[in-house]
Amino acid sequence: MKKGFVVVAALCMVLASVSLSNAQLANTLHNLSATGPGTRKAPGVGQLCKFCHTPHNTLPSQALWNRDLPPKVYNLYTSSTLEATLNQPTGSSRLCLSCHDGTTAMGNMRVPPQAGPVNLSALIGPASLGTDLSDDHPISFVYDSALALKRGELADPTALGSEVRLDSTGQLQCTTCHDAHDNRNRKFLKKNDIRGVLCTTCHIRRNWTGSTHATSSSTWHGQGQNPWGDLPFTTVADRGCENCHKAHAAARPPRLLRNAQERAVCLVCHDGAATSKDIEAEFSKSSTHPIASTDWTHDPKENPNSMARHVTCADCHNPHQASATGASPPNVPGALRGVRGVNISGGAVQEAATEYEVCLKCHGITDQAASGRIVRWDTTRNVRLEINPGNPSYHPVAAVGKNTTMGNFELGYSTGSIIYCTDCHNNNQWTSTGSKPRGPHGSAYTPILERDYRRTDPSTYSRQAYDLCFKCHNENFFLNDDNSKPFNHKEHLQGDDIGCPACHDAHGSRQNPGLINFMRFDPTGRAVVTPASGRSAPEFISLGPTTKRCYLVCHGRDHNPLTYPD
């Protein structure tokens, strides 16, 4: 009697489960019977389950499947960051694709309903994935602890929880994320995908939870194109991973990105559509980082010391870690957090600790092209070599400067200051309280300078012409020179129209104190400083803190030598 009761109770539980499943299924697009809510349904057919399942004549027997699975070859997902070994679709994924690859009529069942054969054509529209699965999240691969360890940013499969499950063979399948009988979370998802909750069940990205994309309340401003289109959520935080990624039919298959154009992945929002500042407008200025010229050259695993020369948003910004957190020089600010870099010794670092390490990834490996730029007597254009603290002089980017006696700085600067690269290379319209974005996206002044810095010679003096220098250095100090100072700047600046860059290399000098690295040719190709008679190169000699000597020809005057003060 007791045994019979247990059997009856178990049967009741099964029937209750089936009844609940039917009730959930009935209101979804997977109900293809006459009572289904969608436009694709079979008139006269009342059996909900028959379109997928049958108790007899199944092939395969898994899930009592009521559809044939003719041999097919699918084009699989690929990416340079993929560590899993993918197989042709197996298990439940192959069952799902018997409809969702769009190649077989949906009415083509092994055992038709009681009402007879069903005339339903193959699936079309967004739900039809086709046989090219390269733009879809990978499926049918073994997801085990070894893979999680190898990838480094995957949760251990033992920690996935009860909702997101692998199949009995340990493979990730369509059914890991989707429940074909339950659409309470839209698109038959196992979890509500608000704030990337479903994605982050498996994908554990470093510093994601505190990043701007995970926390921002910004929303589309309603002007122009909606950057998200098919998503029901209204804020950046709620959209989470789906701000940039699509699990199916991604426009850019590797890494499942929403836009086929690399810069558009970011600028679709950062053009002001969902941000307070318009970054896109900066790239229309005369001097910019050329993000439009090398689409998809960047790779997350690239080695800065050997990569092809390029620049895109992701070279400077890690969208999974970037935040609005501030920092003090030289420490990396939140906007650049989590980006690869190159240290002052030339070694690649996985995550830059300082801002200049991000810049040196491109500007500290090889000499930069000289066309249209200043050519100096020390011809290196490798910024890493110029700002190296081992030099006789350098602007204090990587370390505090060596000249401890220098004075007359503007408020906020001193001999103990360290500055960012972006204190000079910055948006020319940026102000600390304004609406224009900070950073070296673009400027009216070459090369992406925050303020004017005339590089041609001769150059008529004005405050505006060297406004960049006078951001830190007090103008009046240099225009009130007298013979008690080691050098008469006023005579050169105002008397001879010789600008700051004729003598000084703003990054640093490998030979001389005072950033002395004479300009050989200005950007137009005009010769500026040449050797004094009988010498092979211009020379600058420091005879102590107050006395300097030059051997050179500048503006037709032979300094052979000229001693300061004179």
pLDDT digits (tens, 9 = 90+) for 27-61: 999 999 999 999 999 999 999 999 999 998 877 77
What amino acid is encoded at 97 in this protein?
L
- pLDDT, residue 225, reads 81
CA distances from 29 to 3, 34, 172, 184, 344 (A): 41, 12, 24, 12, 59
- The yes-or-no verdict on residue 480 having pLDDT over 70 is yes
Question: What value does the mean pLDDT take over residues 138-154?
Answer: 96
Mean of all residue pLDDT scores within the chain:
92
Six token digits for residue 69: 């699975």
d(CA 317, CA 340): 9
SS3 track for 208-232: CCCCHHHHCCCECCCCCCCCCCCCC
Non-local CB neighbours of 303 within 8 Å, separated by 6+ positions: 348
The CA R_g of the chain, rounded to the nearest whole Å, is 33
The answer to whether the CB of 36 falls within 8 A of the CB of 46 is no
Q: Confidence class of residue 483 from pLDDT cuts 50, 70 and 90?
A: low
Cβ count near 535 (within 10 Å): 14
The answer to whether the CB of 464 falls within 8 A of the CB of 452 is yes
Best CA proximity match to 69, nearest among 31, 42, 100 = 100
Domain ranges of the chain: 23-204, 369-566
Q: Confidence class of residue 408 from pLDDT cuts 50, 70 and 90?
A: confident
pLDDT digits (tens, 9 = 90+) for 268-288: 999 999 999 999 999 999 999
463 vs 545, residue with greater confidence: 463
In degrees rounded to 5, what are phi and psi of residue 508? 160, 175
d(CA 165, CA 21): 18
| Of 126-130, 151-155, 405-409, minimum mean pLDDT range | 405-409
Is residue 249 classed exposed, middle or buried when 0-12, 13-18 and 19+ CB atoms within 10 A define those classes? middle
DSSP state of 27: T
Percent of the chain with pLDDT over 90: 82
- pLDDT, residue 6, reads 45
d(CA 144, CA 149): 9
| Of 56-65, 96-105, 386-395, minimum mean pLDDT range | 56-65
Best CA proximity match to 282, nearest among 294, 293, 274, 270 = 270
- pLDDT, residue 293, reads 94
Torsion of CA 433, 436, 442, 446, to 10 degrees: -40
pLDDT digits (tens, 9 = 90+) for 283-331: 999 999 999 999 999 999 999 999 999 999 999 999 999 999 999 999 9
DSSP state of 287: E
- Please spell the DSSP secondary structure of 503-565, one letter per residue: TB-SSEESS-STTB--EEE-TTS-B-EEEPTT-SS-EEEE-STT-EEEEEEETTEEEEEEEE-
- The yes-or-no verdict on residue 227 having pLDDT over 90 is no
pLDDT digits (tens, 9 = 90+) for 169-188: 999 999 999 999 999 999 99
Question: What value does the mean pLDDT take over residues 535-547?
Answer: 89
SS3 track for 113-134: CCCCCCCCCECCCCCCCCCECC
10 vs 377, residue with greater confidence: 377
- The yes-or-no verdict on residue 486 having pLDDT over 80 is no
DSSP state of 159: G
- pLDDT, residue 564, reads 85
User: Helix, strand, or coil here: 427?
Assistant: coil
Q: Confidence class of residue 15 from pLDDT cuts 50, 70 and 90?
A: very low
- Please spell the DSSP secondary structure of 443-504, one letter per residue: ESBTTTBSS----SSS----TGGGTTGGGTB-HHHHHT--TTSSS-HHIIIIIS---GGGTB
- The yes-or-no verdict on residue 190 having pLDDT over 90 is yes
- The yes-or-no verdict on residue 371 having pLDDT over 80 is no
- pLDDT, residue 481, reads 66
d(CA 1, CA 17): 24
| Of 292-301, 343-352, 428-437, 481-490, minimum mean pLDDT range | 481-490
Best CA proximity match to 346, nearest among 289, 397, 297, 305 = 305
Q: Confidence class of residue 21 from pLDDT cuts 50, 70 and 90?
A: low
Percent of the chain with pLDDT over 70: 94
pLDDT digits (tens, 9 = 90+) for 86-97: 999 999 999 999
d(CA 361, CA 306): 10
- The yes-or-no verdict on residue 18 having pLDDT over 70 is no
Six token digits for residue 551: 């051997």
Cβ count near 414 (within 10 Å): 14
CA distances from 288 to 107, 340, 361, 443, 450 (A): 57, 21, 17, 6, 12
DSSP state of 17: H
Residues in the chain, overall count: 566
Q: Confidence class of residue 7 from pLDDT cuts 50, 70 and 90?
A: very low
- pLDDT, residue 224, reads 79
* Maximum average pLDDT range among 103-117, 364-378, 483-497: 103-117
- pLDDT, residue 12, reads 41
Question: What value does the mean pLDDT take over residues 392-414?
Answer: 93
- pLDDT, residue 137, reads 98
Six token digits for residue 405: 């006696």
In degrees rounded to 5, what are phi and psi of residue 120? -125, 125
Q: Note if the pTM is more than 0.85.
A: yes
β-strand partners of 292: none
d(CA 108, CA 65): 12
- pLDDT, residue 482, reads 60
- pLDDT, residue 19, reads 52
Q: Confidence class of residue 450 from pLDDT cuts 50, 70 and 90?
A: very high
Torsion of CA 160, 166, 169, 175, to 10 degrees: 180
